[in-house]
Amino acid sequence: MAVQRYSRQRELIYNAVRASRDHPTAEMVYAALKGDHPNLSLGTVYRNLHLLAREGKLRRMPFPVERFDGEVTPHHHFCCEACGRVMDVSLPYDASLDRAAAGCGLVTHHATVFYGLCTQCRQAEQAAKPPRCLSPVRRGKGQNTKKEM
């Protein structure tokens, strides 16, 4: 009985990550499911995510904040430094790099992470910024920029 309940929860958690393009954290998966499944605990979500990752069904992404990817074929990522969102980057996967790195040991895959500002954060930043000529003088920051020659 208990075993069945656990595997149903695992299925539920697996499907939630598969359906998401957000590379969710355990907390995000929990938040998405707890409305319909009030018996679910964050600990259960966490435990099942790790189990699924160990089984190769999800990929654990040890960023500063641990996330999980429903897409397990190797691919690249973009991480927004402002909001922390992680997106897939559709660049070709260069398997020759794995072969080139084989001197280190058994290379299973590689992952490139691009960092910067996502489109939304960029737009928000630009919208928040008043036109340069109207911007108030800010606490002298950058005012006495020395021109070193």
Can you give the binding site for Zn ion, defined by CB under 5 A? Answer: 69, 71, 80, 82-83, 88, 118, 121
CB of 34 or CB of 76, closer to Zn ion? 76
Question: Closer CB to Zn ion, residue 40 or residue 61?
Answer: 61
Q: Is residue 110 a contact partner of residue 122, using CB atoms and an 8 Å limit? A: no
Closer CB to Zn ion, 40 or 53, in the complex: 53
Distances in Å between the Cα of 145 and the Cα atoms of 129, 130, 140, 148 are: 21, 21, 10, 9
What is the radius of gyration, based on Cα positions, of the chain?
21
Shortest CB 120 distance to Zn ion, Å: 5
- The residues with which 114 forms a beta bridge, in sequence order, are 78
- The least distance separating Zn ion from the CB of residue 91, rounded to whole angstroms, comes to 12
Range list of β-strands (E), the chain? 59-62, 66-69, 76-80, 86-89, 113-116
> Minimum Å distance from CB 59 to Zn ion?
7
By beta-carbon proximity to Zn ion, the closer residue of 27 and 125 is 125
Residue 109 CB, shortest distance to Zn ion, in Å, is 12
